[in-house]
Amino acid sequence: MKAQFIKSNYTGNTKEFWNDNWSLESVERQKDALIWSGYKPIYNKYIKNNGFLLENGCGLGSSLTYLFKLNDKSIGLDYLFEPLSLLKQSDNKFKLINGNGFFLPLKNESFTYVISLGVIEHFEISSQQFLVKECYRILKKDGILILSVPYYNLFKRIRMNLSNTQQKENKKFFQYLFTTKEIKQFLINNGFNIIDIYYCNKLTPFYLLYKKLKNFFKSKEIKNLQKTHKNFKSDNMFYKKEKIINFINKLIPFFLSAAMITIVCKKNE
């Protein structure tokens, strides 16, 4: 694992850090982020409407909003109250828990699915194991865990190896980056059988640029289209954008720019 440091007043595993992070986001933006991530095909393949599903660390519901469409027993858990409150305000149907991933307030073997995206990497190895063991505890026999962590891709290797300024005084620990071998072995050591591996968030730099430009396009392009065409539906543009992004995702080599590696695994008993 490779430690990554960023300019911040807080480390990446504190409530202060994530309160600042979520204050710059919204539920609607997070729905849009899901399209760019590449997680939807994984959910479509593995998530069925049978048994309970927990997203451990759901934040503003980027995945939970879509997961609820696939499984109406989906539950979101986060240790921050603020994003859960915003998520509940956006749609009252969501079942949410303000809780701690280290001590899940849930019964043993009560869930068929657990989703954990971008959570464990913000903690030291012993704490990572504790978080995953809690997921293991609440999963039923043959239950599925979908876990995603930052991928130590080629671009990051080159950039971090060329720079000797990773651990400056004004930088704080943010997260660990994993190789494929490291995260596979970690999950096997903690009682899981690997089913599949995906490389996600290949278009992160483009998504960040898109976020900056989105307000302009939303205020200008879409409003003009709505004035010109009374029957115009933004959903049509949303659907076309998703198809284009999925096509580009397939063309980009995973080892070059994938920001996250996602493991689908099954509880081994």
Q: What is the pLDDT of residues 15-40, one digit of tens each?
A: 898 888 888 888 887 877 787 788 99
Work out the average pLDDT over 163-172. Answer: 65
pLDDT band of 170, cuts 50, 70, 90? confident
Contact 30, 64 (CB under 8 A): no
Query: What gap in Å lies between CA 41 and CA 146, rounded to an integer?
Result: 12
- 149 pLDDT higher than 60: yes
For residue range 49-61, list pLDDT tens digits in order. 999 999 999 999 9
Is the pLDDT reported for residue 135 higher than 50?
A: yes
Q: State yes or no: pLDDT of 253 exceeds 90.
A: no
Q: What is the mean pLDDT of residues 218-240?
A: 48
pLDDT in tens, 82-134: 999 999 998 888 999 999 999 999 999 999 999 999 999 999 988 999 999 99
According to the model, what pLDDT value does residue 195 have?
A: 97
Evaluate if residue 232 carries a pLDDT over 50.
Answer: no
Q: Categorize the per-residue pLDDT at 255 as very low, low, confident or very high, splitting at 50, 70 and 90.
A: low
Of 14-18, 180-184, 221-225, 255-259, give the range with the top mean pLDDT.
180-184
Digit-coded pLDDT (tens) for 205-219: 555 555 555 555 554
* CB within 8 Å of 248: residues ≥ 6 apart: 203
When pLDDT is averaged across residues 70-84 and rounded to a whole number, the result is: 95
Task: Tally helices (H) and strands (E) across the chain.
Answer: 12, 9
> How many other β-carbons are positioned within 10 Å of the β-carbon of residue 146?
25
* Contact partners, residue 1, CB within 8 Å, separation at least 6: 125, 152, 176, 177, 178, 182
What integer is the mean pLDDT of 166-179?
Answer: 80
Asked whether residue 141 carries a pLDDT value surpassing 60, the answer given is yes
pLDDT digits (tens, 9 = 90+) for 192-205: 999 999 999 876 55
Q: Is residue 162 pLDDT above 70, yes or no?
A: yes
CATH of 2-202+252-267, one of 3.40.50.150, 3.30.200.20, 3.40.605.10, 3.40.50.2300: 3.40.50.150
Identify the band that residue 75 occupies on the pLDDT scale cut at 50, 70 and 90: very high
Rounded Cα gap, residues 91 and 27, in angstroms = 10
* Distance in angstroms (rounded) separating the CA atoms of residues 59 and 44: 21
The pLDDT score that the predictor gives to residue 9 is: 81
Is a pLDDT exceeding 90 seen at residue 154? no
pLDDT for 234 = 47
Per-residue model confidence (pLDDT) at position 206? 55
